[in-house]
């Protein structure tokens, strides 16, 4: 019997509106831009993938336009004719051909997994070893920058049982202003919710020493990437003295980074992101490093739409423990999406389908409507 091969890869840039501006330390998102990948195989099976960045080059090394260009010109041609079911061989070919480009590779690996799952009648989580849960608790980011508005938003989400884990994006304002903002929200929410902060590398070490002490002493559960990823010594020192756990995010740009951080003792929590590791299989290698080192796990996001969110979710379902939950709320930030089946959020969790592949079908009309011309 002839094995199916990879016939064609097509990329589209899609711009989707968001429910509100999303304020980060380095950038304010007014919309979300996705790179959607369609991988077609000789047996007629199509796999879909997604690569999404937060704020384009303001956040990381890859932009939507660069992702599309590199897939079209370099990565896709290298895959044509390869066995569609041999994901390992395809990704090894890409790693030999191109350094980095983890966002682009993640979209391709996702599409290969989706196609193989459809071909075999299995959800992606089964291809990744088998799910040990069917849903994931999901945090929400309070990012309006206005204290009263953020409190009202959190109270509403608690009332409708959508979220009880809240992250605050801080760092762009003066330190004392940010601390007042965070502590006011924590006082209002009390023990009804977990409150965490994400600094996106915006503090220097001296600011972080003081801030982490204040935050930890006042019930803040987690501090994400408070100082620059290149200050490895500072991360180690901060992790040793902060009363609140320190989570590495921007510090992990690869699986190799995860090993180096674990060996140095630079964080007690790792944020897992498929886009920054190179795909759902790759992110599980980072998780294995963390678990071996006794480092706790958090399911991170690049604020992907439904495709990237469910690709992450299928990987996270296979993990033994996610101590700090996940942040897979990207589809909830959008007013429109490009899939027929909206991800299901209820009782504080994202519920992940057990249907073949990712469990999603593209909505052709919506895709055409929002695709960048």
List the one residue out of 119, 113, 55 whose CA is nearest residue 315: 113
The active-site residue out of 169, 186, 273, 276 is 169
The active-site residue out of 50, 109, 250, 327 is 327
Q: What are phi and psi of 137, to 5 degrees?
A: -70, 140
169 is an active site residue: yes
What are the contacts of 69-77 at 24+ separation with CB within 8 A?
Answer: 70/98, 70/101, 70/104, 71/9, 71/11, 71/35, 71/37, 71/104, 71/107, 71/108, 72/11, 74/98, 75/9, 75/101, 75/104, 75/105, 75/108, 76/8, 76/9, 76/11
273 is an active site residue: no
Q: For 279, left (φ over 0), alpha (ψ -120 to 50), or beta?
A: left
Could you list the beta-strand ranges (E) of the chain: 6-23, 28-41, 46-52, 135-137, 140-142, 165-169, 194-198, 222-224, 246-248, 269-272, 296-299, 344-346, 349-351
List the one residue out of 242, 191, 189 whose CA is nearest residue 214: 242
Q: What are phi and psi of 101, to 5 degrees?
A: 50, 40
* Catalytic center residues: 169, 327
């Amino acid at each position: 019997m002839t094995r199916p091969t990879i016939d064609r890869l097509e990329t589209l840039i899609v711009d989707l509106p968001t429910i509100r501006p999303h304020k980060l330390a380095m950038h304010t998102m007014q919309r979300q831009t996705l790179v959607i990948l369609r991988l077609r195989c000789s047996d007629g099976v199509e796999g879909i993938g997604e690569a999404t960045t937060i704020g384009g080059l303001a956040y990381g090394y890859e932009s939507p336009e660069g992702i599309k260009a590199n897939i079209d010109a370099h990565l896709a041609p290298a895959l044509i004719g390869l066995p569609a079911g041999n994901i390992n061989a395809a990704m090894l070919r890409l790693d030999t051909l191109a350094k980095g480009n983890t966002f682009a590779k993640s979209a391709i690996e996702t599409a290969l997994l989706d196609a193989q799952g459809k071909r075999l009648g299995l959800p992606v989580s089964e291809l990744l070893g088998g799910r040990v849960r069917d849903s994931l608790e999901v945090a929400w980011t309070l990012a309006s920058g206005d204290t009263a508005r953020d409190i009202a938003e959190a109270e509403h989400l608690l009332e409708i049982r959508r979220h009880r884990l809240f992250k605050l994006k801080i760092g762009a304002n003066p330190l004392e202003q940010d601390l007042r903002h965070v502590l006011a929200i924590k006082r209002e929410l009390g023990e009804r919710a977990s409150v965490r902060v994400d600094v996106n590398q915006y503090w220097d070490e001296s600011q972080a020493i003081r801030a982490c002490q204040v935050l930890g002493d006042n019930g803040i559960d987690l501090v994400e990437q408070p100082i620059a990823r290149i200050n490895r010594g500072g991360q180690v020192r901060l992790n040793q003295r902060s009363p609140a756990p320190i989570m590495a995010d921007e510090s992990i740009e690869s699986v190799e980074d995860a090993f180096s951080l674990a060996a140095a003792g630079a964080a007690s929590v790792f944020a897992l992101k498929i886009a920054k590791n190179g795909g759902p299989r790759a992110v599980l290698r980072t998780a294995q490093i963390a678990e071996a080192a006794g480092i706790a796990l958090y399911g991170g996001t690049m604020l992907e739409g439904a495709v990237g969110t469910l690709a992450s979710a299928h990987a996270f379902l296979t993990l033994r423990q996610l101590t700090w939950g996940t942040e897979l709320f990207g589809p909830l930030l959008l007013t429109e999406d490009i899939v027929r089946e909206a991800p299901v959020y209820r009782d504080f969790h994202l519920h992940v389908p057990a249907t073949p592949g990712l469990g999603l079908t593209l909505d052709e009309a919506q895709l055409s409507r929002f695709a960048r011309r």
